[in-house]
Amino acid sequence: MAEQGSGGLQVLLSTFQSSHDKDVILNTLSILTNLLSVGTNRRVQYTISKGGSEALLQALVNAARTSIPDYDILLPLLRLLVRIGCKDKKFGLKAQRLEAIDVTLSLARKNLNHHENLTHCLWALQIYASNVAVGTMLGINGAMELLFQVITPYTKKHTITTRAAVEALAALLKSKSNSRRAVHRGYVCQLLWLYQDWHHRDTSNNYILIRRGLLLCLKHITNVHSGRENFLLVHGMEILFRTTQDSLFSKTLDPIVNTVTQVLRKTYPKMPFPSAAISSSYSFPIPGKTELSLPRPEDYFDEDAEEEIEKDCDNEDAGNKEEDDDLEKDINKLMSKPELDRPESELNQYMVMCPELQYNFQLKEKETELKDELNSVDIPGTLTSSCLHVIPCAISLKCQLKCREGDQSIEEEEEKQIQRTLERPVHREGKKQKPQEPGKRTFDESEPLVTSFRKGMVSSKGHTAQEGLQNWQTSQFQHMNSCGPGCQERIEASEMVTKLLEKHPGNIPFHKPSYFMARANCTRSIPDYRVLAFPDLWGHQPPTYSQPLQQRRCGIQKAKIFEDIRRVVQPADIIKRVVFNLDSSGSLQSDQQNCLKFFSKFESGNLRKAIQVREYEYDLILNPDINNSQYNQWFYFEVSAMKSAIPYCFNVINCDKPNSQFNYGMQPVMYSVKEALLGRPHWIRVGYDISYYKNHYRNYVPAAAGGPRGKSCYTLTFSLVFPHQEDVCYLAYHYPYTYSTMMSHLDILEQARNTKKVFFRSQTLCHTLAGNACPLLTITAMPESESKEDLEQFRERPYVVLTARVHPGESNSSWVMKGTLEFLLSNDPLANLLRQCFIFKIIPMLNPDGVINGHQRCSLSGDDLNRQWLNPNPVHHPTIYHSKGLLYYLKSQGRVPVVFCDYHGHSQRKNVFLYGCSIKETLWQAGCIVDTSKVTEDVGYRTLPKILDKVAPAFLMSSCSFLVEKSRDSTARVVVWREIGVLRSYTMESTYSGCSHGLYKVVYA
């Protein structure tokens, strides 16, 4: 408003307060009402700032205290007060100070039989009660008793007054003191009776807001422990459950169903988590750390804990907005260049990781010899296991001792073992097989698939492998996770698997079962996996058709929540039988009938426990990361003994993220062994009635201070019909990509490359805590000739550094990396151009141990490796420590990479996008003043995202962000940008789901 307008408002308010002339007062009220009824809320806020609330409240007190109150003035005045009070956060306190609350309450009591006057008073009381302290005082002064005189059973008369009373009561009950008072006076039972009456008689749904108001009253009362107890005692759960059954899929009744859902979830009897412990079923001693004992969930089960109110996740992007409070506002920190985090002399060891800088092209005949030399653990300066403090494996003391003895020759022995296996590949039969017809089976239909593959399961040690006999069911090839040479005897593939692989079509690109078996034989896991998952062994191809994102059925989330509640109110059909449990000595309970068989003890597998809830419904519990109990999302398990044409329901009940793409069209993936043997080896999206929501369990983890705190658990539920009777199927969160798969893929790429055009070197950057190699790849173009100019151009090419899979559960990052490698090594002209322009340093898997052991986020040390880049520990975080060391080495040689990109997967957003780093954009977003004369910045960090936005259909520039957050201070993107000085330092996020735009819209990318 202009200064003149400001003076006019002051005059109006002053006249309104001082005048006793009715016409003047009414005219002033009319002007103020018209003034505040149009335009934006800025007029109301301006009026409040000029004392408008106080002026109107004082006028109310003056008008009400006359001998005969004039309602011609009071009613418009109350309406105006309500309009302003909705925007004034201190309105209730102002009304209390000016004694307007007592006046309004007195007016309401005097007008119990005059509904228009009473309604206006109730509106004002509702606004006053928005302040909890004021609401508590109103409760003490008998406001609730007054309102219960107004709220009547169902009637078509005076419904506006009834609604005002119900909403005022709901506002009062936000005060916990009022809620406890309501419980003691028996209002819970009365409210339930009123709700039932209005629900059953309002058949036309004309009074939904009154019914919802009554439910809001119950919702606020059940915020206190005594309210929840009383609600259950009077069978409130059963009443609301029964009355809402027919409304779940009605859009019109969403306000009712949403509020009922919140009340029922809050009052759902709290139960201890159905698992003996919250730590992983597997253990690994962290070098130099004392083992922490994590609490059992029931040890800290608090019946008095109040559950926060949760709103349904209707907006997919609601949780994806940047938090300005997390932005780094310290310009000195943003512009700082931290010092080297290790002795400079230590960088020399990374020289051998850059063979392209020392390669002698004039001695081609010694190429193989040089390659062996570069990979040898005996060369001074190489990353030997001793200098990396590798802890080979912690399966047994005897095993560890043998590992230490053979530590020096581990790599050599592994290579020899792989070569021995590759020299004995599994060949198909000599005579040509007829092409397999799509509908023709290759196995005996008369016996179950599981049984047919179990025959001949005897290891080379001469004993029957019970795990394989009881479970695989189709993996049936057992491999040893030996910690080192001579640690344990190698177990050969069974005769059954050998015959099976003879029928392998051999047409799956970049996959050979013999290579995979050889690599899997050298992979070291904490559980000592002896079984291969069939999809990883056999391989798979993408379906010949694109799968659309699933359209979510309206109301399905509420229906699933009600299914949970049904277990309490109608428990007759609940079985609660544990059918799989990693924590028990015999995790496979194959003697149980009429249930599915589960298994997860294979590489990247994750399923801790399966509980049969009903005949065709199972609760599934995931295994948390070793040495960390906070992350549960990734699952990959085998299921068998299913019936055909039967819908099965699976509930994964201990997920930990607050929202998921499963609520917006994403589906789990499934691989059918029978389908694979019929020539259709596909991972396909499956499932319907999919929903992801917060459940009634809480996972207790040690807090930094003050003892354990509860963390909400979330349920992923989905139903599916298996394609075949007695099949063996695998279900996973996303397309699995294991460490052994990656290693065998690298073997195949190395053999398939064009050696005349492509310079390709695969080296071991370091070993992980479990003793698994972390490969480092170098890809560029061979020099055009051996001339000095061409060799100089070869060595002076700028570097591009790519990394992936620091978070094991983000398997999509590995698939993106797989495509990157295949393209860079291809004959595509663009790939050739990229090789001629750049040297690519690629670390395709930063967290091998996490991937192998089925983790979601952490390494064996229990740490999120993407939060360790600031100060990585060489023992606990070797892959990060040496990745950073390699980058420091390149910087010390004046070869700072032009691009660094860390591949990730995003579970809550669609599309592919980048996170980068910008000082100016961060400060601008944080609302800081930027001195452009001092803060200069190259905007080249936006070039690559803009190019990708033009050429990549799945990429979306508008989803990119270049803000530096405090909580991301120790991530690869920020540390490489700040410490190494890489302008184009990115995190690339790829969706688990599909795209919201372009070519791949509404289909899986």
Catalogue the active-site residues: 989
Site of tokens 């090419």: 797
Between the CA of residue 350 and those of 346, 361, 765, what are the distances in Å? 8, 21, 9
Q: How far apart are CA 522 and CA 490, in angstroms?
A: 10
DSSP-based three-state secondary structure for 426: coil
Which residue from 208, 204, 134 is spatially nearest to 168, judged by alpha carbons? 134
Angle at which helix 556-569 crosses helix 236-244, to 10 degrees, equals: 140
**What does the block give as tokens for 404?**
């230490």
Which residues, other chains included, contact 878 with Cβ-Cβ below 8 Å and sequence gap of 6+? 388, 389, 390, 766, 767, 768, 769, 774
- Neighbouring C-alpha atoms within 13 Å toward the C-beta of 42: 3
Write a three-state SS string for 301-363. Answer: CCCCCCCCCCCCCCCCCHHHCCCHHHECCCHHHHHCCCCCCCCHHHHHHHHHHCHHHCCCCCC
Q: How far apart are CA 909 and CA 770, in angstroms?
A: 33
Torsion-angle region of 186 (φ positive above 0: left; ψ -120 to 50: alpha; else: beta): left
Q: How far apart are CA 857 and CA 631, in angstroms?
A: 7
Q: Return the sign of the alpha-carbon dihedral for residues 823, 826, 828, 833.
A: positive
H helices of 534-623, in order, are 534-538, 556-569
Which residues, other chains included, contact 987 with Cβ-Cβ below 8 Å and sequence gap of 6+? 901, 902, 904, 914, 915, 971, 972, 973
DSSP-based three-state secondary structure for 612: strand
Backbone phi and psi for residue 984, each to the nearest 5 degrees, phi listed first: -100, 70
Q: How far apart are CA 522 and CA 526, in angstroms?
A: 13
**What does the block give as tokens for 222?**
């059940």
Q: Within 10 Å of residue 598's Cβ, how many Cβ atoms?
A: 23
Query: Residues 856, 966, 926, CA angle at the centre, nearest 5°?
Result: 130
- Report which residue type is found at 536: D
Q: Tell me 501's DSSP state.
A: H
Site of tokens 């302290």: 133
**What does the block give as tokens for 659?**
């929202």
- Report which residue type is found at 623: N
Q: How far apart are CA 56 and CA 70, in angstroms?
A: 15
Which residue from 681, 658, 654, 664 is spatially nearest to 542, judged by alpha carbons? 681
- Residue 140: enclosing H or E segment and its boundaries? helix 132-140
Beta strands, E only, 635-681: 636-640, 647-655, 669-672
Contacts 24+ apart (CB under 8 A), 945-952: 945/913, 945/914, 945/916, 948/912, 948/914, 952/912
- Are residues 768 and 861 in contact, defined by beta-carbon separation less than 8 angstroms? no
Q: How far apart are CA 92 and CA 718, in angstroms?
A: 48
Please name every residue paired with 804 in a beta bridge, in sequence order, or none if there are none. Answer: 903
- Report which residue type is found at 936: T
Q: How far apart are CA 632 and CA 910, in angstroms?
A: 21
Which residues, other chains included, contact 759 with Cβ-Cβ below 8 Å and sequence gap of 6+? 356, 359, 778, 779, 780, 781, 782, 794, 835
- Are residues 993 and 549 in contact, defined by beta-carbon separation less than 8 angstroms? yes
